[in-house]
Each structure stands twice: as C-alpha cells, then as structure tokens.
Structure 1
Amino acid sequence: MARIERILFIASKQSDYLEDIAFTGLSDALGRENIIPLRAMRKHYIPTHHYPKAIACRRNLSDYFSDLLAGKKMLSRAVYDCVIIGSTKRDAFEAYDSMAQKISKNAKVVYIDGGDESEVGGDASRLGFAELYGRAFSKRAPDVIFKREYLKNKNYPANVYPLPLSYGGPLVDGAGGVKKYDVVFWAVDNIPVRAKVLDFCEGKWDCAENGTSRGQIFKKYNRKGIKYLKELAASKVCYNFRGGGWDTLRYWEIPAVGSLMVSGKPGIVIPDDFEHGKHAVFCKDDLSDLEGLTNYYLKRDKEREGIAAEGKKHLLKYHLPRHRAEYILEIIGKSA
C-alpha cells in the first residue's frame, strides 16, 4: 500500500463542510506542513465566522505567507504524492482546470464531492458549471472519488467511496447536564419531510415555547455557533431529518453534545453508523412511530441518557475529522 505523505489541496474560498472537515483532519493526521493549499484561503487562517463555518480555521495568520509560497513551490517542483480537489465549487474547479495537465503522473488525483446531489459531480450542473467540470476532468480524471451523498440503493463506479460529514466543532458540556427543553427541531421547513415534522410538532410538548415551529429562517436563527450547540445539549430529545441531502451536520452534532437523537433513517452509506437503540433512535419513514418513540424516551430518563452517552462515545471513536482523514488516506493508499 502506497503511503501518502504530502498533499496539494485545492480548496474553495467558500465554506464547504466536507472539504473543511477533510482539510482539518488531514492537517492533523499529516501535520500542517504536509498538506498545503494550492491557494492559501482566508478561511483557513482568519476566524471571520462562528461554528460551523469556522471548522477549517485551524491555522495561524502567521502561517499564511509561508503556505502561499509552499503551495507554489510544491506545484512547480511536483513534490507531492496527491492532489485533492476539496469540493464541487466553481473556484476549486477553475484552479484544477488551470493546472490539471501539470500534475505529476506519479501523483494521485482525488476528488471530494460534498454536494447535495446523489450523482457524482451533480452539484456542478446544479450550480451552473457542468462544462468546466467536464473539461477539467477530461484533462486529468480523478483516481479516487469520495462522495457524501453515496446512496444505499445506487451503484457507483469502483473508484467512488462513501465519505459522510463528521463532527468538527468544539466539545461542549451544555448546561452541566441540565435538560431544560423536552423536544427540539430548529430547522428551515424548505424540505417536505421537515415541514411534515414541524407540522406534527405543533401543539406538542414544549415545542412552541422553544421555537420548534414552521417559518424559521436560517439567517435569523437566534441560536448560532457555540450557543446553538449548548442549546442542543440542554435538550432531552433532538430531532434530525434530512435537508437538501441526506447527510446533515445535525446528525453529528446531537450525539457530540450528549443528547438523544431521534432521526429519520439515512438513505446514504455511513461506515460505522449509529445503531438504533444503542447510539440513537430511528423512526419509520412515514413518521408513524415518531410520537410514540418521543413519549417513550421522555418518560425514561435513565434509558434516554444512556443511549445519548453511548452515541457520544461512538462519535468520538469513529466520527471526528481525524477519522475521516485516516479513512481517506487508507483508501488512497490502497488504490492502484
């Protein structure tokens, strides 16, 4: 198995959760000096946003110019084992398109597709740069592809592997274990299942009082960053249901803060996923058992908190950025 030691990483200026998780994890796994951005991005050095858009900001501002020079040197001298295209974003593909034919033949090319679409590169069409996407890969196709929305019931090429999100935020203790909310689901209702869940929650438990209702607007959330995580930690039962894609940050945040996750069953492949009744609770697709499950665990504090604790242990063992990085490096190393 070939060992990957130095990576040239093509990042987007925009926040992309899977790209940011991968960049952070690989920097920890290989050392920041061995994963160099092709173009040093502000998001890696200056904390201009709160969690979760600050996931990638793990480098010091003093590293900016040294990384800038290192990226140019790494490209010109081809002193890298691997080039990673971090996301399905236009600026990342513009950068790749401009240098694809210059990449060392001995280096692996890896593409991380963290978009919402189930087709590989589907976000390139959705976002309007399908021609650029096709042209770039006609110059040098990727050896390995990692896909966030890797559907369970869909066949993918042999070089495509599942890569879900993980928890890249700080570990919080909530309110010292005090649970002040019963049932929470703070989400935008722009997806049918979310609208259905929020309609179902109307008039039940303490949902109206805690803001679990229709008409929420993401930009106007009053729970953001660390405050949001602490509020999740102060909740007995936290719902998770898919957004634009199956994978959501909430799926990882709820176990991370030590609360019970009641979720729809993911339609994507998640290696080392949470188990029903052991790490989390999964309801039926038609939501017919959602009320019963919720009432059951609200009445059984010890059982509920036990599952939540096991969910957190499982997450800390398998679902942090460093675990995604180890998996990425293992797959790349095994590829022919």
Structure 2
Amino acid sequence: MFILFLGDQHFDYVSDPLYVGLSRLRGNDCVVDYPYKRLYHDPEASNWYMIQRPGIRYGREEVQDLLAHKKVDLVCIASFRPDCLEEVTRLYGRVPFPPVVFIDGADDANIRHDVVSRYRPALYFKRDYIWGMRNWWPDVSRRFWHFRGDRQLFDRTIPLPVSIIPEILPSVSACKDIDVSYTGRVSHPRRLDVTGKLSSLAGVRFEGGVYAEPTDRRSKLIRQGAKRLWVKLTDDGPVDRSVVEKKKAPQQYYQEIARSKIAVHIRGGGLTPSPRYYEIPLLGTLLLSDTPESVVPDNFENGRHAVFFRNDLKDLEPLVRHYLSADNEREEISRAGREHALKHHTCERRAEYFLDVCRRMI
C-alpha cells in the first residue's frame, strides 16, 4: 500500500507518531509526506518527542503526477489545521484521488463537517472519540448533535488516540525514592486540584506540580471558580515567568516518573488521555489515572494494567495510600501495564491498528 500523508508543519501528537509507525511498517518509500515535513527528516528541525526517518522532498507537480498515474493507494489527510486543508484543496479536483481518510487529532469532540462534505473521506479517525461509552442517553444525543443524523458518517468514524515512540523514553534504572508524582501543564482546574491534594498528603513523598506556557493567562492558576472568573474579567495577563520556569526538561521529567512508585495522569482540556498516560507504564511505574471519558482501543484495564480514580477525586487519597502499602500488587500492575502498552500503544502498534481498519472498511 502506497500512502500519501498530507500534513503541515505543526507538531501533532496523533499524526506524527503514526507517520513513524507507518513508515516503519510499510517502508519509507511507501509513505510519502507532503508538504515535506522537516520535523520528520531534518536534524535541525527535530524535537524531543519524535525520531526522524529518511524522506524525499516532493513538489506539488510530482504529487499530482503520482495521483494522476494512480500510484497512490490511500490519501491520508493527517491534520485538521487550515494550512493542511488549503493544500489538499489545491490538489483535490485537479487529479483523481484514491480513497481518502481523515485524521482529526484535535482535542475536542467536534466533527468537521466541512472536511466531510468537501473530501468525502472513506474513514474519519477521531482522537477524542466519546461515543459508545455505555451511557445510552448521552450517547444518542451526542450522535444526533455531532453527526447531524448522518448514520453512515457515524459508522465510519473510528477512535484513534495518541501513541508513543518508545525510543524517546530513556532507559532508566531508577531507585523508587518518590512515592507519588505528577507534573503537567496547568490546562485544566482539576490539575490544580490534583497537585493540591497530593502535595498535602501527610507522610507521602510527593514530587511535581503544574507549570505554564508563556501564552497561558493568570486565571489558569486559580482553582476557585468565582475567583477564576473575576481574574478573567479584570486582570487576566500572562502568567509569571516563575511558573513557566517550572516546566521540566524531558530527561528530568522522565526521571521523575521512573523514580516514582506511583505517577498520576489527569486529562487537560481534551477528553482523550495525553501521552503521559502511556509514558508512565512504559517507564515501569504504576499508572494512577482519572477515569477515561473517551474510547481507547485496547485500553488498560482497571486493577490489572493501571488504576483509575473517580473524576471528582474523592478516592484519590485512599488509592494512593493503598498502593503505597501494597508493594507486590503495585509492582505486578506496573509490570502488566508496561507489557500492555508495548503490545498495543506504541507508534507501530497504532499504525497496525490504523492499517487493519483501512483494510477492513475501505
């Protein structure tokens, strides 16, 4: 299968690891990125979350020739962002397209009906896939609202969470001298609640905290709803530099997880788990996570591969104290979680899942 991977220059937690997995499975010559993405190929454009692959820089005319001569088996629109979709528009209609699939890696539950109506994707891969969570009435209302009554679109919308490139994680053999840790961007008030609860647990060695990006506003650092709203309305300037400087370097961040007996994951603004959800078990630490609110194929099982706490955080402290005292149980879940993550949630395993869905449904 020859795949034309249409993207943009923005980093994407879903599409970019998927590209690595696809190029490994199919070969570099059979997965062509366009426009040429420097992040995939040029060392000076690399970031800590990616590894690079050999690639060929194709121009628009060369891509049109590939399509015109039917050398492409599948077109993957790999970004929901405007610059990607504008380039697709320049190609679409000029030459015949093979089957098209769309990867919507946005951390929201919206369906982009403009993309569906214009390009008619055979499959719609969705990061925040919230349907089919065994909640009958919300599920029916969500289907009606998000899919506008289009049953065929619903049937061809498929969950596609983020995945991890294992090589980005350091090989660490750390002493477990931290009881519980959490480090994350202050992108949701619950992350403030979690750090507040964990840091106040008597007799528990906690490490971590929240940090901010320079573009974040002061209101994000306030937990109380009324006060948060007041700051938004009156003085919502950029966060102090001291909060930005709390962000850890990748090696320090991963060392913190590896040194922890328990590491906590909690979602930010989106509904699907962040990369940390998979990084924690891959680093040999017990994953203690909020309960998923989106579909994750081959997800971790509660009590077997990970431990889930309630989204209101009421059982967070009892679970932390239990698993700190139950060494054998904690270590067994950690081992099983790592094995499960390697089996199902690396970039290559996600690419296998993607290709299998395409083969069965197109």
Q: Give TM-score scaled by structure 1 length.
A: 0.85
User: In the superposition, relative to structure 1, how do residues 330 and 70 fare at CA in structure 2: closer, same or farther (>3 Å)?
Assistant: farther
Match of 1:141 among 95, 101, 120: 120
Structure 2 SS opposite 1:325: helix
Per the alignment, residue 183 of structure 1 pairs with 180
Q: Give the distance between the partners of 1:315 and 1:78, measured in 2 at CA.
A: 37
User: In the superposition, relative to structure 1, how do residues 78 and 160 fare at CA in structure 2: closer, same or farther (>3 Å)?
Assistant: same
How many Å apart are 1:260 and its aligned residue? 0.5
Per the alignment, residue 279 of structure 2 pairs with 253
Q: Give TM-score scaled by structure 2 length.
A: 0.79
One-letter amino acid of the structure 2 residue matched with residue 226 of structure 1: Q
CA-to-aligned-CA distance 1:174-210 (integer Å, 9 cap, x gap): 2x24112111111123312212212212322233xx3
CA-to-aligned-CA distance 1:70-118 (integer Å, 9 cap, x gap): 646424433101100112112111111111213535x110000110110
Per the alignment, residue 39 of structure 2 pairs with 43
Q: Give the distance between the partners of 1:103 and 1:242, measured in 2 at CA.
A: 42
Q: Is the 8 A contact 2:285 2:334 kept in 1?
A: yes
Structure 2 SS opposite 1:267: coil
1:85 aligned to 2:64?
no
Q: Any unmatched runs of 5+ in structure 2?
A: 134-138, 148-153, 214-243
Q: Is the 8 A contact 1:21 1:166 kept in 2?
A: yes
Q: Give the distance between the partners of 1:266 and 1:181, measured in 2 at CA.
A: 25
Q: Give the distance between the partners of 2:40 and 2:60, measured in 1 at CA.
A: 12
CA-to-aligned-CA distance 1:262-306 (integer Å, 9 cap, x gap): 000110111111011110000112211110100111122222111
Match of 1:113 among 81, 104, 113: 104
Per the alignment, residue 206 of structure 1 pairs with 205
Q: Give the distance between the partners of 2:287 and 2:100, measured in 1 at CA.
A: 37
1:285 aligned to 2:311?
yes
* Aligned-residue CA RMSD (Å): 2.2
Q: Give the distance between the partners of 2:290 and 2:58, measured in 1 at CA.
A: 45
One-letter amino acid of the structure 2 residue matched with residue 145 of structure 1: Y
1:297-308 equivalence runs, <5 A: 297-308=323-334
Match of 2:261 among 236, 242, 253: 236
Structure 2 SS opposite 1:102: coil
Structure 1 SS opposite 2:158: strand
Q: What fraction of aligned residue pairs are identical, expressed as a percent?
A: 31
How many Å apart are 1:314 and its aligned residue? 0.4
Per the alignment, residue 98 of structure 1 pairs with 90
Q: Give the distance between the partners of 2:58 and 2:82, measured in 1 at CA.
A: 25
1:22 aligned to 2:18?
yes
Q: Give the distance between the partners of 1:23 and 1:221, measured in 2 at CA.
A: 31
Deviates more, 1:311-320 or 1:220-229: 220-229
CA-to-aligned-CA distance 1:223-269 (integer Å, 9 cap, x gap): 23233223211111111111121221111111111101100011011
Q: Is the 8 A contact 1:18 1:114 kept in 2?
A: yes
How many Å apart are 1:316 and its aligned residue? 0.6
How many Å apart are 1:325 and its aligned residue? 1.1
